[in-house]
């Protein structure tokens, strides 16, 4: 252990990628910090980095007891270990040395109900608890993440000065705010990740259409994404996508992106988002499509076999049919608009899921604030989030982003291009499930009358589920089959 007489302002346990970088960030902002990790080598690594990165005020500890006792009271301990059982084990190890009034802050991607359970478990001993979403990966943790703390408000007040300095800074403040009670911080982080899935899927579809139908090279794609990053699509994900297309393959010809196996990994937050959307009866088709696409991408061998079977059955690659007639410049502009409009629908779904949960749990989430703290530090950070913030500030009860007057205008302006891109992709056999899901979501939501009347009639026919009428109040049941099959000349007969 490094000798230190003064007590630290805060502690952090769990020194893998996120914990190590967040600890260094906290120390760099001038808050003396104690660190601890189950395996001691990571403590040593962190101490070396703290020294190299400017003799930062960070002390390492090798036992839970020394670690906890090295903190100023009331103690605040951030935990950044793998979500699930490791968090329970870490809490058990550390909390035995903590006292009433101390706080535990779990910064992992934890299932919100686990946070709510732990909150109650430690409350018996007067320990306060926060579940704090941390976004921005390694770079964000080191230089300024977006932080989503939810749970005990007094615990938040104990660390408010620290998190406000450590978070990413944008023109309207630090990218952190108290989210709400219970597991709201984890839930908001989970939906953030679901939206991130949607964004990444939509970008990959834009890339697919431009590459396959438009015939664009990686260097052209790099330039287009860089140009998009100077306009309404300006965001971290668009920026890094431009960079990705520029990286050469050090093991062979061409660019690295073309050598990457087309199988997407995942850790579960996208799946939770879709499960929650279903639980709450909130439509989230773009996010669901992005999750389905990850599942299908995982079936690489099966997809290769399917391609062969269908080719043998006469399936042809129809891209050449559309390529001939393509105006490249117009296609690029259309894809930009389709991406933007699809993205608005995806964010509308995420925000509506948050609203439904907020109502169910009484969290009183502030959507304008959520959009604001996502403007910097996190993976979905984007200029467009400022517009979302303003939309919710104009109307905190906004039913959907697509009916905010400004976004509505943009959707209408972009829909022609959007339909052209989706139509072209369908014709060429290029799957664009995210863009299609967004467009279908938009068209379903904006249509005052849907064919749901027929579904209701079917339900009433086979299950006597009853239906309502558009022209008079009440609930009705009809003997559909009897009426439909009455002999010629009878009431309701048609044959
Ligand atoms: P990991 O999720 O890879 O977890 C590794 C850490 O967990 C190590 O410190 C490890 O200790 C510790 N740990 C494990 Br595994 N089992 C333990 C146990 N039973 N008791 C105590 N410690 C245990 O780390 P990470 O990638 O830094 O992520 C931390 C959290 O932040 C996760 O919830 C993650 O989902 C979330 N997150 C990650 C990112 C990212 O970009 N990586 C972004 C945002 C959020 P050891 O060294 O002794 O094995």
Q: What is the DSSP string of 257-287?
A: GGGS-S-----SHHHHHHHHHHHTT---HHH
Query: How many whole angstroms from 261 Cα to the centroid of ligand 1?
Result: 26
Q: Is residue 203 located within the same domain as residue 64? A: no
The structure's pTM equals 0.95
Q: Please, are residues 134 and 116 in contact by the beta-carbon 8 Å criterion?
A: no
Residue 102 lies in a domain: yes
Q: Could you tell me if 207 and 148 lie in one domain?
A: no
Q: Give the H/E segment covering residue 295.
A: helix 285-298
Q: Which pLDDT score, from 0 to 100, does residue 427 have?
A: 92
Over pLDDT 90: what percentage of the chain?
Answer: 94
pLDDT of residue 491: 53
**Percent of the chain whose pLDDT exceeds 70:** 97
pLDDT digits (tens, 9 = 90+) for 278-301: 999 999 999 999 999 999 999 999
| In a shared domain, residues 331 and 408 | yes
pLDDT confidence band for 320 (50 / 70 / 90):
confident
**pLDDT for residue 4:** 47
Residues 241/225, Cβ–Cβ less than 8 Å: yes
Whether residue 414 is found in the same domain as residue 476: no
Q: What is the pLDDT of residues 145-165, one digit of tens each?
A: 999 999 999 999 999 999 999
Question: Which residue among 14, 63, 110, 272 has the greatest number of ligand 1 atoms within 8 angstroms of its CB, and so is best to mutate?
Answer: 14
Confidence of residue 492 (pLDDT cuts 50, 70, 90): very low
* End residue of a domain, out of 130, 148, 182: 182
Is 43:67 a contact under the CB 8 Å cutoff?
no
Structure tokens at 475: 């609930």
Q: What is the pLDDT of residue 2?
A: 44
Same domain (yes/no): 475, 368:
no
Query: Does 161 fall in a domain?
Result: yes
Exposure of 329 by Cβ count < 10 A (0-12 exposed, 13-18 middle, 19+ buried)? exposed
Number of domains the chain contains: 3
The domain boundary residue, chosen from 156, 182, 208: 182
Mark which of 182, 202, 217 sits at the end of a domain.
182
Give CA–CA dist 198/285, Å, rounded: 9
Task: For residues 310-334, give the mean pLDDT.
Answer: 89
One domain, residues 456 and 439: no
Do residue 261 and residue 178 come from a single domain?
no
Instruction: Report, as an integer, the average pLDDT of 21-50.
Output: 98
Q: What is the average pLDDT score of the chain?
A: 95
Q: Mean pLDDT across the stretch 374-390?
A: 95
C-beta 39 within 6 A of ligand 1: yes
Average pLDDT in the 179-194 region? 98
Does the residue 493 lie in any domain? no
Residue 105 maps to a domain: yes
Ligand 1 pocket member 402 (CB < 6 A): no
Ligand 1 site, residue 41, Cβ cutoff 6 A? no
* Whether residue 199 is found in the same domain as residue 251: yes
- Please indicate, yes or no, whether residues 159 and 256 belong to a single structural domain of this protein: no
- Ligand 1: which atom is nearest the Cα of residue 15? 9
The answer as to whether 494 is a domain residue is: no
Instruction: Give the length of the chain.
Output: 495
322 band by pLDDT with thresholds 50, 70 and 90: confident
CATH number for the domain spanning 473: value is 1.20.5.320
| 40 Cα to the center of ligand 1, angstroms | 14
**DSSP states of 408-459 as a string?**
HHHHHHHHHHHHHHHHHHHHHT---HHHHHHHHHHHHHH-SS-THHHHHHHH
Distance 26 CA to ligand 1 centre (A): 18
Do 31 and 70 lie in a common domain?
Answer: yes
Catalytic residue among 196, 205, 255, 410: 196
State whether 298 and 345 are in the same domain: yes
- Reported as a single tens digit per residue, the pLDDT across 423-471 is 999 999 999 999 999 999 999 999 999 999 999 999 999 999 999 999 9
Catalytic choice (29, 189, 343, 375)? 189
pLDDT tens profile 270-279: 999 999 999 9
Q: What pairs with residue 12 in β-bridges?
A: 35, 78
Q: Domain for residue 253, yes or no?
A: yes
Q: Is any atom of ligand 1 closer than 6 Å to the C-beta of 134?
A: yes
Residue 113 included in any domain:
yes
**Residue range 248-256: average pLDDT?**
97
Give the Cβ contact number of residue 492 at 10 Å: 12
Cα–Cα dist 8/408, whole Å: 51
Residue 45 near ligand 1, beta carbon < 6 Å: no
Beta-carbon contacts of residue 404 (< 8 Å; ≥ 6 apart)? 391, 394, 395, 398
pLDDT at 495 over 70: no
> For this structure, is 196 an active site residue?
yes
Instruction: Give the model's confidence band at 493: pLDDT under 50 very low, under 70 low, under 90 confident, else very high.
Output: very low
Distance, CA 254 to ligand 1 centroid (Å)? 35
Domain harbouring 13, CATH code: 3.40.50.720
Decide: 286 in ligand 1 pocket, CB within 6 A. no
Same domain, 307 and 397: yes
What residue numbers bound the domain in which 240 lies? Answer: 189-445
Residue 133 Cα to ligand 1 midpoint, Å, equals 14
349 lies in some domain: yes
Beta-strand relationship, 103-106 and 169-170? unpaired
């Amino acid at each position: 252990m490094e000798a230190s007489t003064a007590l630290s302002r805060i502690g952090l346990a769990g020194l893998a990628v996120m914990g190590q970088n967040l600890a260094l960030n906290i120390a760099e902002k001038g808050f003396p910090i104690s660190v601890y990790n189950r395996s001691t080598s990571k403590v040593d690594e962190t101490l070396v980095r703290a020294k190299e990165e400017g003799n930062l005020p960070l002390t390492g500890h090798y036992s839970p007891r020394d670690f906890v006792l090295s903190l100023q009271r009331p103690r605040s301990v951030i935990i950044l270990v793998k979500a699930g059982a490791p968090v329970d084990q870490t809490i058990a190890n550390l909390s035995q040395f903590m006292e009433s009034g101390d706080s535990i802050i779990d910064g992992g991607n934890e299932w919100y109900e686990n946070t709510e359970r732990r909150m109650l478990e430690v409350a018996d001993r007067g320990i306060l608890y926060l579940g704090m979403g941390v976004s921005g990966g390694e770079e964000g943790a080191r230089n300024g993440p977006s932080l989503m703390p939810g749970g005990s408000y007094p615990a938040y007040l104990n660390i408010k000065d620290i998190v406000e300095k450590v978070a990413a800074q944008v023109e309207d403040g630090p990218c952190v705010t108290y989210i709400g009670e219970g597991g709201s911080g984890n839930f908001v982080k989970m939906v953030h990740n679901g939206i991130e899935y949607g964004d990444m899927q939509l970008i990959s579809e834009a890339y697919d259409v431009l590459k396959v139908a438009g015939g664009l090279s990686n260097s052209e794609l790099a330039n287009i994404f860089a140009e998009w990053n100077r306009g309404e699509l300006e965001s971290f994900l668009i920026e890094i996508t431009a960079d990705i297309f520029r990286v050469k393959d050090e093991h062979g010809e061409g660019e690295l992106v073309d050598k990457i196996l087309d199988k997407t990994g995942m850790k579960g937050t996208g799946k939770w988002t879709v499960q929650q959307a279903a639980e709450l009866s909130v439509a989230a088709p773009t996010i669901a499509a992005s999750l389905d696409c990850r599942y299908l991408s995982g079936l690489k061998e099966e997809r290769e076999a399917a391609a062969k079977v269908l080719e043998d059955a006469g399936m042809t690659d129809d891209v050449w049919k559309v390529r001939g007639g393509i105006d490249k410049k117009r296609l690029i502009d259309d894809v930009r608009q389709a991406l933007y409009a699809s993205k608005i629908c995806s964010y509308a779904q995420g925000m509506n899921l948050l609203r439904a949960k907020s109502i169910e749990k009484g969290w009183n989430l502030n959507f304008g604030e959520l959009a604001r703290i996502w403007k910097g530090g996190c993976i979905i950070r984007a200029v467009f989030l400022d517009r979302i913030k303003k939309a919710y500030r104009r109307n905190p009860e906004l039913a959907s982003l697509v009916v905010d007057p400004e976004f509505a205008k943009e959707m209408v302006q972009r829909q022609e291009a959007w339909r052209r891109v989706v139509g072209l992709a369908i014709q060429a056999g290029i799957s664009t499930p995210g863009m299609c899901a967004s467009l279908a979501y938009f068209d379903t939501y904006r249509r005052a009358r849907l064919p749901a009347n027929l579904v209701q009639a079917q339900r009433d026919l086979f299950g006597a589920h009853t239906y309502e009428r558009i022209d008079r109040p009440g609930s009705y049941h009809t003997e559909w089959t009897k009426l439909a099959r009455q002999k010629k000349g009878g009431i309701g007969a048609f044959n």
